[in-house]
Each structure stands twice: as structure tokens, then as C-alpha cells.
Amino acid sequence: MSRLTRKITGSDLILFNVTFDMAILVCGATGFIGSHFCVLALQQGLDLLLLDNLENSSPKVLNAIREVTGISPRFVEVDIRDKSSLDAVFATNQVDSVVHFAGYKAVGESAAEPLRYYRNNVDGSLNLLESMKEHGVRKLVFSSSATVYGVPEFNPYTEEHRKRPFNPYGQTKSVVEDMMYDLCASDPQYALVALRYFNPIGAHPSGMLGEDPKGIPNNLMPFITKVAVGQLAELGVFGDDYDTVDGTGVRDYIHVMDLAYGHIRALQYLNSNAGYQAINLGAGRGYSVLELVSAFERINGVSIPYVIKPRRDGDLAAYWADASKAERLLGWKTQLGIDEMVRDAWAWQSANPNGYN
């Protein structure tokens, strides 16, 4: 189906040549992960239609994609909560498969505003699955999350780990996975893959695309880069008394370009395999908060002042992925390490202190 190998300009990844021919609708295309997927997929010659409501991303992302790839992406500004607009997209464009990144992603916000999260993440996905069904599209790659697992009953998490999310965000991901499972059970022609991401960080190595959170970042890496660039005074480290290598929380970080490539492999997989699969995308190892900080300082020569704060409610001590199913089914594993993650995150933030603005 695919053959090794070709090095794509501006990427450190060894990629397989793509030999499948599909028109792909990308929902949430201008967000952090979606934009990196689009760059890689366009560079691999895939036919994409980008869709986003721009609620949590900038139209300038489209310029960045164009500059990096030399390709002007086709784009529609549509909200997936608006079923009739979504239907019009399917009615007027060739769509063979969908990659679905669109949704809200902040755990804390989901606890404060659960209905908003259910409406967007669940209802939006239901609209999408219905539009797909009505237009005969049966292939989907969905952005799920390791959050679906909840408190680890064992570590690393395998896909067989029980799903027990303990926040509304994780619940919304789990519900969409269940809808996908039920749909596949109802019709053997469906091919639906839920990719359970661990902690995506880093940026495109060109420094032209990256993560651009609005306001104070929720996630660790954008917080570190905002401190590095002088916009925040210091990093708050929540808890240094966990049972881990240095007492700080341990997570499985994955370079966003590796993650993007996992979607291309998933599309190849569902081109020839029907049914439902949930697949972890992670590095298969963990780093502590302080290990990430010291890698950032070592590689980039920038110091990150930090202060230890009390543990946050709901934070877990340590978890990472068993990533063997992705290797077995998709022929995918991470190629980029912590040094590339911190290097590329800083290349983006230092070149664009105010993100896309």
C-alpha cells in the first residue's frame, strides 16, 4: 500500500510515500494539531478541504500553511454545530473520508461549563456522523484523548484499559467513541478510528506554525514558552511530592509532527480495513515536568524560573501510553524525541512571540 521513503522538506520525519487517493475533509483544520496535519498531508499530495469555525484559531494559519507547503489550501468557515451548513459542504464537495479535530479541549473549562462541551464535542460530532451517513461517507479519523482512561488501574495504559473519564471533557470524547463503535456495529462498511492522543507538544520545525492558546495557557509547554519569551514571570509547577523520579507529574509527550503523521497512517489503515479501532498515539515513555523544563533549558539556552505550588485537584501522578497497537496496526511509532519537541516549540514561540497576531 505504501513504500519507503522520502524526506519531506521542513520535516525531520521519515515518511512513507502516500499511494492512496482520497478527498479528505479536515474539521478543526486551523487549530494546533489540525494545521500540522494539513501541512504534512498537503506535502504528501493528499487532497484536502479544510473546515473550521475559527473560534479557537486564526485565519492567518491558512497563510502559514500556504507558505510552508507552497499550496493554497481550500477552506470553508463552517461550524459543525450547524447541520445544514455541514450538509452543504458534503453536498457540494467530493468527500471520501473525514479527519475530525474540531472541538473544545480544556479540562478545567469543561468542568465549569459542561453543557457547552457536550453541545460542541458531542452534538457537533453527531452532526458530522449524520452528514457523513447521509452522503455515503464511512471513513473517519477522530481526535480522542488519553483522558478517556481516567485514573490508571495499570500503567502504561493499553487500549483495553477501562474507560472511566473523570471530567466532562473526557466524557465527551468517550461518548463520541461509543457512537463510532455503535455505528460500526450497525453497518460493516464503516471504517472509524479513534486516536487517543497523549500530550502533543512542539511545533513545525520551520517555526512558522505552532500552538497559539488564547489567554493564560492551560498546558505545560505553551506556559514554558511564554515564560521563556518574557510574557509570564515564572512557571507554576503543581506538586513536587508525587511518587515519581523527582516528585513532579510524569506525562507522555509526543511531537505534534509525529502525531500528525499518525493520522496519515490511520487514513491509510482505514482505506483497507473496516470496523472500529481505538488506538493510542503516544511515545510510550514519560517525562516529568522538571525533566521537560531542564531539556528546554539545555537545548535552547534559555532559563525557566519556576515555583512549586500545591497539587491541583484531579491531576494524576504519572501515566504514559502503551503504543504497541499503533505500531502493529498502523506501522507507526514516534520518531522525534524530547530534544526536537523543546527545540521546535521554542523556534515557533521565539519567532512569533504573539503567536499568529
Choice between 21 and 178, CB closer to ligand NAD = 178
Closer CB to ligand NAD, residue 16 or residue 65?
A: 65
Shortest distance, CB of residue 5 to ligand NAD, whole angstroms? 27
Contact 198, 157 (CB under 8 A): no
Of the candidates 67, 178, 187, the one whose C-alpha atom is nearest the C-alpha of residue 139 is 187
CA distances from 87 to 30, 134, 135, 322 (A): 20, 8, 8, 38
- 169 is an active site residue: yes
| Nearest to ligand NAD of 120, 248 (CB atom) | 120
Closest-CA residue to 352 (of 231, 261, 260): 231
Residue in 106, 200, 195, 201 with CA at minimum distance from that of residue 144: 195
Interstrand relation of 139-145 and 191-197 (parallel, antiparallel or unpaired):
parallel
For ligand NAD, the binding residue among 53, 69, 131, 244 (CB under 6 A) is 53
Measuring CA to CA, which residue among 266, 250, 240, 241 is closest to residue 146?
250
Contact residue for ligand NAD among 8, 22, 23, 54 (CB under 6 A): 54
Q: Which stretch binds ligand NAD (CB under 6 A): 5-13, 99-107, 292-300, 334-342?
A: 99-107
Among 16, 90, 101, 117, binds ligand NAD (CB under 6 A): 101
Cβ closest to ligand NAD, residue 16 vs residue 220: 220
Site for ligand NAD in 26-45 (CB under 6 A): 28, 30-34
Measure the CA–CA gap between 271 and 38, rounded to whole angstroms: 18
Query: Which of 120, 244, 277, 334 lies at the binding interface for ligand NAD (CB under 6 A)?
Result: 120
**Residue 139, strand partner residues:** 191
Give the interface segment with ligand NAD, choosing from 54-62, 109-117, 228-236, 280-288 (CB under 6 A): 54-62
Among 73, 150, 156, 200, binds ligand NAD (CB under 6 A): 200
CA distance 98 to 96: 7
- Contact call for residue 274 and ligand NAD (CB under 6 A): no
C-alpha span between 329 and 18 (Å, rounded): 17
* Contact call for residues 209 and 35 (beta carbons, < 8 A): yes
Query: Of 78, 99, 106, which is closest to residue 36 (Cα–Cα)?
Result: 99
> Smaller CB distance to ligand NAD: residue 4 or 115?
115
* Active-site choice (149, 157, 169, 197): 169
Q: Any contact of residue 11 with ligand NAD (CB under 6 A)?
A: no
Q: Is the dihedral of CA 164, 108, 169, 218 positive or negative?
A: negative
102 binds ligand NAD per the rule CB under 6 A = yes
| The one among 117, 157, 197, 346 contacting ligand NAD by CB under 6 A | 197
Task: Return the active site residues.
Answer: 169
Q: Which residues bind ligand NAD (CB under 6 A)?
A: 28, 30-34, 52-57, 79-81, 101-103, 105, 120, 124, 143, 145, 197, 199-200
